[in-house]
Amino acid sequence: MQFERRHRPNAWEDWRFRITDVVLDEGQFGTRPRLLREDGQSALFLHPGMPVRLHRDEAEGYYLNLASGAPVWFVMWRIDEADPPTAWPEFVTLSYNEAGRLLDAQERVDNVPVPAEVRDWLLIFALRIAALLHRARDDGGPLPVWASLLPRGFQLRIDAGWLTESPLTASTLAEEVRQWSGIGIELQIKSQRKRVAR
């Protein structure tokens, strides 16, 4: 994530910050924030390793964003009140609803356009996985599945107990991994024993 800081952009502000770009991180940027350039008036920082996590209960928010015709990354960021020239991004979401809740809570949220190729793959992934898991659903409540965006694909984290009790779904997921791999996109399936906190 690229984050710009401007010094005295007008007579009323000492500092102004904005997210200038969100790029897919394949590990090439390292793990620590760093200064890319500074000219006395403005500075550009890189904040690598910001995960994008997908949550079932935000499905409507993802749909509203992706179906808008101009989907965006929503980035929440904060300023260090003790050191006003310092600010940093907190997290990224694709959910229109989550961004709205953050703004209602007086958080700072910028948006940056999602590149068309990322948008298209997100839609395809969401539809395929939703159809696959819908077939496996019973009346036991929400499925224990969490999704994350990877640099070259996606990761699904699934409750290990549920996966053991659903061998047909496990087999179908293995086939899904093979099919995504065939078009050069990574799909990781990870089992876990308990829910990961949001």
**Do both 93 and 121 map to the same domain?**
no
Report the pLDDT value the prediction gives residue 140, as an integer from 0 to 100: 55
Helix, strand, coil abundance in the chain, percent, nearest 5: 30, 35, 30
SS3 161: helix
- Residues paired with 76 in a beta bridge: 91, 109
- Does some domain include residue 56? no
In whole angstroms, how far apart are CA 169 and each of 1, 130, 143, 183? 36, 12, 12, 22
- Does some domain include residue 16? yes
Quick: pLDDT tens for 143-197. 667 777 777 788 888 888 877 887 777 888 888 888 888 878 888 888 876 544 4
**Do both 40 and 79 map to the same domain?**
yes
CATH number, residue 183: 1.10.3210.10
**Do both 94 and 156 map to the same domain?**
no
Instruction: List all residues 6 or more positions away from 35 whose beta carbon is below 8 Å from its beta carbon.
Output: 43, 44, 45
- Does some domain include residue 63? no
How many domains, the chain? 2
- Does some domain include residue 88? yes
Question: Higher pLDDT residue, 131 or 82?
Answer: 82
Q: Which of 86, 114, 142 is the last residue of a domain?
A: 114
> Which two tokens mark 49?
């390793």
**Do both 81 and 20 map to the same domain?**
yes
**Do both 186 and 171 map to the same domain?**
yes
- Does some domain include residue 66? no
- For 154, the domain range is 117-192
**Do both 14 and 92 map to the same domain?**
yes
Quick: pLDDT tens for 19-71. 998 887 767 788 889 999 999 899 999 998 887 777 767 878 887 887 787 88
**Do both 126 and 93 map to the same domain?**
no
Quick: pLDDT tens for 84-107. 899 999 989 988 999 999 999 999
**Do both 139 and 179 map to the same domain?**
yes
Q: Is the pTM of this model over 0.75?
A: no
